[in-house]
Structure 1
Amino acid sequence: MNLVTLSLSNNNFSGEIPISPLVAMPGLQILELAFNNFSGSLFNSISNLTILELLDLSANRLSGPIPHSICTQSVSSLKVLYLQDNYFSGSIPDSLRNCTNLVSLDLSFNLLSGSIPASLASLSNLKDLIMWQNNLNGDIPAELSSLKSLKNLLLDYNNLTGTIPDGLVNCTSLNWISLASNRLTGSIPIWIGKLENLVILILRNNSFTGSIPPGLGDCKGLAWLDLNSNHLTGYIPPALAKQSGKIVSGLLVVGRRYVQLSIGNNSQCHGTGSFLEFDGIRSDDLMRMPSTSYCNFTRAYTGFTGDNLRNNISMLFLDLSYNQLEGHIPTEISTMQYLMVLNLEHNRLTGPLPENLGDITHLGVLDLSHNMLEGRIPASFSALSLSGLDLSNNQLSGPIPEWGSLATFPAYAFENNSGLCGFPLPSCNSGSSSRDDRSQLSSTNHQSFQSWRIALGLLFSLFFIIGFVIGQFVEQILVYFGCDYVSVLY
């Protein structure tokens, strides 16, 4: 049979994959069986499809080990291997190094264990190395530095240890580095600032120490920076704003599906949420993530990254929360005009709130809580169209500005600032008893409002990203208010 392409994805097929009829098709180049209910193991005889270029078995119920025979030919034709969202276990076969033409490898959302094979470094054409949500351990192989074509390195939610290999500075095509929720240590490498094509950097929930490298401001396209829940010290570098207005056209994060998980109240997880690559994964299978329960993910927003950045604008998302940062909030942050989420909560920041933060006209979520900030809330904050605000647990004083979006937030957003007064706190000439009564009343609605605030703020931010990455913000305003998918996880 001379069949070249067989695409049976998005059906309700079940049982084992009918391997015998498939291997009777020696001319098969593309085999797509994704989003079905196939179960059982992946047979060794799959290697008999010697000219197969694309194998997509994602989003099924396959289990057992990944066959070592999958790339037994000395020269394999396979370019795309998608096995994500299954139940594959065991180690990653070293034989994958024989897939010398492999461009995209996605093994995420399985039960794989062991280390990442250093031999993958021989795949000189590899652009996508995606293995998030497994049980992988050990170091990130230093040998990966030879992958000059690598664009996406996504290893979140594993048990990886050690440091980020310095050799990755040679992977100058990197667009997306996501290493969240591992056990990585050491400092954030200074050389990351040399990756001029980097758009997304997510190092959340590790054990990184030292200061934030000012050189990150040299990443001309850095739109998403999430460093929350580490052990970072020192000051917030004003140089992070260096790339403001300098994001250049043509930086690619091509058509990848993503999911943004909103973290609910009373969660053991910190920060604003989790941003994950989501190609080939069922939305319902998010409940398989162990972190779903203890992080209290309440909502998932999904969409597709676009193919270029047409405006010369600045960072969209900045989360440095739950670290040990100190000093003042740099006034330079106000030049990041398209910043949608700014989360600096749970640090040791001091000094006044910068007056010019009110100039960030697109800011949707602002969380500066649990610091040691002092002085008045600038009147310019009234110009912000905020959907989420938390200035609580600081040392702020004076009246709360009475107009704009600040008037829409309950007392908990301002509480535990001994000198603050005015709505929604007691008026500036009232007694402390009134303040106590008002605080007690606001705490009744705190949990539900907090969840709503974060979800709405993230949705607002993600709507912007969806609209922005597929075209100019003003011209795509209708896309800005569109979302590919919204689900409630509880």
Structure 2
Amino acid sequence: MAQDVDLLISFKNSLVNPSLLSDWNHAKGACEFRGIACKAGYVSSLTIRELPLGVDFSSVSAHILSIPNLETLSLHSINLTGSISAPTKCTAHLKRLDLSSNDLRGSVYDTASLATSCTSLQSLNLSNNSIGQAFYHSYPSLPNLKILDLSYNKIAANKDLQLLFSKLGVLKHLDLSNNNIKGSLPQISNCTFLQYLDLSSNQLSGTVPAGTFSDCLNITYLNISSNHFTGNAPPDIETSINLVTLSLSNNNFSGEIPISPLVAMPGLQILELAFNNFSGSLPNSISNITILELMDLSANRLSGPIPHSICTQGVSSLKVLYFQDNYFSGSIPDSLRNCTNLASLDLSLNLLSGSIPASLGSLSNLKDLIMWQNNLNGDIPAELSSLKSLKNLLLDYNNLTGTIPDGLVNCTSLNWISLASNRLTGSIPIWIGKLENLVILILRNNSFTGSIPPGLGDCKGLVWLDLNSNQLTGYIPPALAKQSGKIVSGLLVVGRWYDQLSFSNNSRCNGFGSLLEFSGIRSDDLMRMPSIRYCNFTRYNTGFSGDNLRNNMSMLYLDLSYNQLDGHIPTEISTMQSLLVLNLEHNQLSGQLPEKLGHITHLIVLYLSHNMLEGMIPASFSALSLSKLDLSNNQLYGPIPELGSLITFPAYAFENNSGLCGFPLPPCNGLPTSRGHRSQLSSTNNHSSQSWQIALGSLFSLFFIIGFVTGQHLKQISVYFGCDYVNVLY
């Protein structure tokens, strides 16, 4: 025991700042030290995580690894530096060694040497370090190692992969994901014990040769996604009948999906084949994969009908079905009602026709019903009102008719309702304001009539409201601003990926932009959408959204353009201090521009053109940091304020008014003119263009709402449900 204390204190004294381990002192026994666990009075485990010790690996080797009875050592994210190639004295009892998320250097050979020097070592985790320097000695064997994690390192040489594959020994778990390994996939020899192999997110290429996995009869997890493989699917998967998870996504595999080998895998639960070039139709036999929980075939070239046999073989385990971005045609099979465990269904960007089956309303676990851009017609089934777990109802870009079913008020978990570009009629339901979890409401480009319900201001999390291109009348309800400062902190929408598109001023698409769920869709396939491809748009960032809503926020995006709204612009809008985009153009609004609009400090887009607004532009507008502005085609008059961002906009942003004057329009007679701002226009406009791209990115980094908590669980969900993604068209 005294030896344990001495070794621990020696390690502490090697730190630049020993006070970080202030409770490690001779006044205590080693078993009372922070991070220490003991057996029979001897140190058996040491765990220190996310403490910036800033120590060299040589100190760990000299002091910690010499503790006689140490079985487990975990030093995750402690700013551990140096090379693992240093000679190591390792206790014979050490079984588990975790040095992940540090800045350790060395080669794969050094990794094998470290594992060999610790003769009892069974688990070695060096993920998220800087392992990968070239060193081509013959590797030592790994006699007892069962788990090796080298993910998120800098391994690039194909020879490292070859040597590792030849020295697997009794290894059961090998993770080499997120490195930079190039070249072809070498054959794996003596892999009898291997159960888990992850080579995803590397630079491997070429076809997968026959025989590569033929000896790996016990493998249950195989992930070679996000590489550059070509040709048919790996021919040896037919021998891997014990597979539970198979992921081939994000490659260039082609040909037909190998259904027969997949059906022969009795334990297959996760099948990820997305973002390849698989073609042909799906046979009815696919329903014979009876315990499958996730099937992701998105972003391929599959065609023909969706098999009507899906979920007809007894009790279905299917929880996630992703068929988006293909060329499936025909009707949505009514047999989906048998998928009683289904939580997420995405059939977007296909050629499906007919109506939405009312029987989908029986899927009590359904959270995501996503079918945008098809040829679906008929009404939105009233039976969907039974989906009490429904979070995302996304049916944009179809030919749906009728009204929004009143029963959806019972779907109190709804976060996102998007029904844009259909042929829906009737009024916007008053009950939508009762959906306290609603964050996004998009009803643009339909034929809704009547007034905007003031009750929408009762939504405690509504940050995106897009009603443009309808036939709405009446005034803009001041009550829309009621939720300002009352956003429910922590309200979440499923974390997703997004693209950003902005429509230009001469676009054939109305409004400033649009928001569209874009999960599992190839970026290039955006042009397959008839409703989008003729838009003159600019693509901005693609990224992952992961912010929570926070208190004191307000709505971020408000687009009521292209309607028949009248009356004044309510001054209450100025209380929406988080507002980034305000688009009220192409209405019949009158009265003066509210001076308080200039107090919306975060506003970057202001479109008020083609109304009947009158009076002068308030001086407060000079305080706005706008990147987009259009006040044209109104009845405004007087001098244009010559401060702030207003001087950066061209004449068309102000033209066709009653009497506006001053730069960039002709000078005001007898009034101060441009004060030399003309000479600044060129440089200012260039700066404005750059600022606009930054501002647009800021819009989504601030906006997207979208659950950090959910993001924390994405890795777990990917095993059971697959990752949810979203793209934003903007």
**TM above 0.5:** yes
Displacement of 1:414: 0.8
Partner SS state of residue 13, structure 1 = strand
Deviations 1:288-316 (A, max 9, x none): 11123332333254333326213430000
Give the corresponding residue for 2:659.
419
Does 2:467 correspond to 1:210? no
Matched AA of 1:167: G
Give the corresponding residue for 1:162.
402
Does 2:607 correspond to 1:367? yes
Displacement of 1:470: 6.5
Does 2:274 correspond to 1:34? yes
User: Of 318, 322, 333, which residue of structure 2 is paired with 1:78?
Assistant: 318
Partner SS state of residue 34, structure 1 = coil
User: Of 387, 398, 401, which residue of structure 1 is paired with 2:638?
Assistant: 398
Partner SS state of residue 645, structure 2 = helix
Matched AA of 1:143: E
CA gap 1:332/1:488 in 2 versus in 1, 3 angstroms: closer
Partner SS state of residue 412, structure 1 = helix
| Whole-angstrom CA distance in 1 between matches of 2:305 and 2:727 | 33
CA gap 1:470/1:255 in 2 versus in 1, 3 angstroms: closer
Does 2:506 correspond to 1:266? yes
| Whole-angstrom CA distance in 2 between matches of 1:470 and 1:122 | 28
Partner SS state of residue 412, structure 2 = coil
Does 2:487 correspond to 1:247? yes
| Whole-angstrom CA distance in 1 between matches of 2:452 and 2:583 | 15
| Whole-angstrom CA distance in 2 between matches of 1:318 and 1:197 | 18
Q: Which range moved further: 144-153 or 295-304?
A: 295-304
Does 2:299 correspond to 1:93? no
Give the corresponding residue for 1:323.
563
Deviations 1:259-300 (A, max 9, x none): 333222333220011211111111111111112333233325
Give the corresponding residue for 1:296.
536
Does 2:381 correspond to 1:141? yes
Does 2:256 correspond to 1:16? yes
CA gap 1:181/1:454 in 2 versus in 1, 3 angstroms: farther
Which runs of structure 2 are paired with 1:230-241 in the superposition (5 Å)? 230-241=470-481
Matched AA of 2:617: I
Matched AA of 2:581: V
CA gap 1:171/1:58 in 2 versus in 1, 3 angstroms: same
Displacement of 1:400: 1.0
CA gap 1:264/1:371 in 2 versus in 1, 3 angstroms: same
CA gap 1:458/1:163 in 2 versus in 1, 3 angstroms: farther
Displacement of 1:82: 0.4
CA gap 1:337/1:419 in 2 versus in 1, 3 angstroms: same
- Given that 1:40 and 1:62 are in contact with CA atoms closer than 8 Å, whether structure 2 keeps it comes out as yes
Partner SS state of residue 304, structure 2 = strand
| Whole-angstrom CA distance in 1 between matches of 2:445 and 2:345 | 25
- Given that 2:517 and 2:728 are in contact with CA atoms closer than 8 Å, whether structure 1 keeps it comes out as no
User: Of 458, 462, 468, which residue of structure 1 is paired with 2:700?
Assistant: 462
CA gap 1:457/1:414 in 2 versus in 1, 3 angstroms: farther
Displacement of 1:411: 1.3
Give the corresponding residue for 2:103.
none
| Whole-angstrom CA distance in 1 between matches of 2:609 and 2:469 | 15
Partner SS state of residue 514, structure 2 = strand
Give the corresponding residue for 2:523.
283
Give the corresponding residue for 2:74.
none
Give the corresponding residue for 2:346.
106
| Whole-angstrom CA distance in 2 between matches of 1:306 and 1:146 | 29
Displacement of 1:425: 1.3
Give the corresponding residue for 1:153.
393
Give the corresponding residue for 1:201.
441
Deviations 1:97-155 (A, max 9, x none): 00000000000011000000000001000000000010100000000000000000000
Partner SS state of residue 515, structure 2 = strand
CA gap 1:30/1:462 in 2 versus in 1, 3 angstroms: same
Matched AA of 2:351: L
Does 2:415 correspond to 1:175? yes
Partner SS state of residue 277, structure 1 = coil
Partner SS state of residue 335, structure 2 = helix
- Given that 1:299 and 1:455 are in contact with CA atoms closer than 8 Å, whether structure 2 keeps it comes out as no
- Percent sequence identity over matched residues? 84
Deviations 1:53-82 (A, max 9, x none): 000001111000000111103421000000
| Whole-angstrom CA distance in 2 between matches of 1:127 and 1:7 | 24
Matched AA of 1:36: N
- Given that 1:271 and 1:343 are in contact with CA atoms closer than 8 Å, whether structure 2 keeps it comes out as yes
Displacement of 1:453: 9.8
Displacement of 1:412: 1.1
Give the corresponding residue for 2:206.
none
| Whole-angstrom CA distance in 2 between matches of 1:211 and 1:375 | 26
What is the TM-score when the length of structure 1 is the normalising length? 0.90
Displacement of 1:258: 2.8
Q: Which range moved further: 343-352 or 263-272?
A: 263-272
Q: Which range moved further: 96-105 or 418-427?
A: 418-427
Give the corresponding residue for 2:265.
25
- Given that 1:231 and 1:324 are in contact with CA atoms closer than 8 Å, whether structure 2 keeps it comes out as yes
Does 2:354 correspond to 1:354? no
- Structure showing greater Rg: 2
Give the corresponding residue for 2:361.
121
- Given that 2:518 and 2:728 are in contact with CA atoms closer than 8 Å, whether structure 1 keeps it comes out as no
CA gap 1:470/1:168 in 2 versus in 1, 3 angstroms: closer
Does 2:306 correspond to 1:66? yes
Deviations 1:219-251 (A, max 9, x none): 000010000000000000000000001111121
Structure 1: 5+ residue stretches without partners:
436-441, 443-447, 472-483
Displacement of 1:257: 2.1
Displacement of 1:156: 0.4
Partner SS state of residue 69, structure 1 = coil
Displacement of 1:48: 0.9
| Whole-angstrom CA distance in 1 between matches of 2:584 and 2:500 | 19
| Whole-angstrom CA distance in 2 between matches of 1:123 and 1:417 | 55
| Whole-angstrom CA distance in 1 between matches of 2:652 and 2:692 | 14
Q: Which range moved further: 165-174 or 288-297?
A: 288-297
Structure 2: 5+ residue stretches without partners:
1-240, 675-680, 709-724
CA-based RMSD of the aligned residues comes to: 2.6
Displacement of 1:216: 0.2
Matched AA of 1:220: K
User: Of 576, 596, 608, which residue of structure 2 is paired with 1:336?
Assistant: 576
Does 2:285 correspond to 1:45? yes
Deviations 1:340-379 (A, max 9, x none): 0000000000001001001100000000011001111111
| Whole-angstrom CA distance in 2 between matches of 1:488 and 1:316 | 16
Q: Which range moved further: 163-172 or 248-257?
A: 248-257
- Given that 1:310 and 1:469 are in contact with CA atoms closer than 8 Å, whether structure 2 keeps it comes out as no
Give the corresponding residue for 2:426.
186
Displacement of 1:398: 1.3
- Given that 1:298 and 1:488 are in contact with CA atoms closer than 8 Å, whether structure 2 keeps it comes out as no
CA gap 1:77/1:297 in 2 versus in 1, 3 angstroms: same
CA gap 1:371/1:167 in 2 versus in 1, 3 angstroms: same
Q: Which range moved further: 67-76 or 355-364?
A: 67-76
User: Of 402, 407, 410, which residue of structure 1 is paired with 2:647?
Assistant: 407
- Given that 2:495 and 2:707 are in contact with CA atoms closer than 8 Å, whether structure 1 keeps it comes out as no
| Whole-angstrom CA distance in 2 between matches of 1:315 and 1:153 | 20
Displacement of 1:455: 6.8
